[in-house]
Each structure stands twice: as C-alpha cells, then as structure tokens.
Amino acid sequence: METPTISIAIVDDHTLFRSGLASLLAEFEEITVEFEANNGIDLKEKIKNHPHTQLVLMDINMPLMDGYESTKWLKEHYPKIHILALSMFDQEKEMIDMLKAGAGGYMVKESKPSDLLLAIKTMIDKGFYINELVSGRLLVSLKQTQTKPIFTERELVFLQYCSTELTYKEIASLMNVSPRTVDNYRESLFSKLNIKSRTGLVVYAIKHQLINI
C-alpha cells in the first residue's frame, strides 16, 4: 500500500535555490513537487493545471508580484491551500505581514531539510506552523481551547497596535498612557497566553481574530 504524499509547489524567483529545494524535497517519499513558479504571476498561471496542490512554499521578496500579494490572491481563490512562507531573514515585520496576508507558517531559508519537512507535515496536519523564532510554546498556546483567556478593552487596543510598525513608546503616546503602562499590558498578555515575543502576540491575535488586518 502506497503512502499518501503531500503535493506542494515552490514559488521563488531565485532559480538555483528553487530547483535545489525541489531536488532536496523530492528525496522525501512523503513529498511530491507539483510545480515551480518564479513569482505570483507565474503561480497564477500554473496553479490552474494543479488544482490539487496542498501546500505552497512562498518566497517573500519577488519581482512583479511578491509573496504578500501572491499569498492574498491564493487565499482568496484557493483557500484550502496551505501557505508556508520562506525568507532569508527572521525579521518580525516580514513574519507578521505574511501571517496577516494568510500564510499559516514561516521558515527561514537556512532551515535544515528535515525541519522544513516537519513544518510541511505540521501545516497539513494542524493548519499552522511557527518555529522557535517566534516562540517555542506558541503552538501550545494556540491549541488551548478549554480555558479561553479574558482580555481587557485596553489590552485588545494594545494588541491592535502591536500589529503595526509602531514602537512601544509610540503606542503609549497613542493610547495616552505611560510607557510603563504599555509594558504592563505586554507583560500581562505574555503571562495570559504563555508567549514571549511581540510577534507571538500578533500571531495569536490573527489566529483568534482579535485584531483587524
């Protein structure tokens, strides 16, 4: 009996990286690389012939149609396809913006093939994957449904501002409170959600539809 494979696509404008990644992933019996595309426009054309693709590995910085716009388009037209963002950097802004666009996970390109395979499997199984760059405990927090935390109105406002590029000092000014009070909001949320980073807070808020994106 054959083991079911996961059908994926790779979207990246760097041909050598894209082809090399496809070759690496092809060595795993669990993976079938359906097609490769060099940007969002190329993806739009090729996905028509591969409607059963389950997951797309999405580069962020690409010409003509980048990862953000490509992700938004894909989630609108093929909402069942999972999107795992790939980036050269572990910058919070890129992570947050891709998650806002509809990606369900984020990996750096320096990751080991075995780690990438784990991420793909986790995405297919659970629909969401964030590695230790965001928080080693984040997935546990996201799966806690029995006891839902209670948020104050000010904490929700703070969460909304966290999804922007504003500094904590600027957030304090907009909320008409002291920087110390903003620190208290942050620490309270860290404690309630068992999360240790600003990015982790935003990921949680997006997943649970606590903020407008």
Q: Over the stretch 75-107, which tens digit does the pLDDT of each residue have?
A: 888 888 999 988 876 666 777 778 878 888 888
pLDDT of residue 3: 62
**DSSP string covering 186-211, please?**
HHHHHHHHT--SHHHHHHHHHHTT-S
Give pLDDT tens digits for 2-27: 567 889 999 998 888 888 888 888 88
Q: State the pLDDT at residue 143.
A: 45
pLDDT of residue 90: 61
Output the CA angle 16-18-19, nearest 5 degrees: 65
> Residue ranges of the domains in the chain?
6-133, 142-207
Rounded distance between C-alpha atoms, residue 9 and residue 46, angstroms: 10
CATH superfamily of domain region 6-133? Response regulator (3.40.50.2300)
pLDDT surpasses 80 at 153: yes
CATH topology of domain 142-207: Arc Repressor Mutant, subunit A (1.10.10)
Sign of CA dihedral 111, 112, 116, 118: negative
Query: In this predicted model, what pLDDT tens digit does every residue of 99-111 receive, in sequence order?
Result: 878 888 888 877 7
pLDDT > 90 fraction of the chain, expressed in percent and rounded: 18
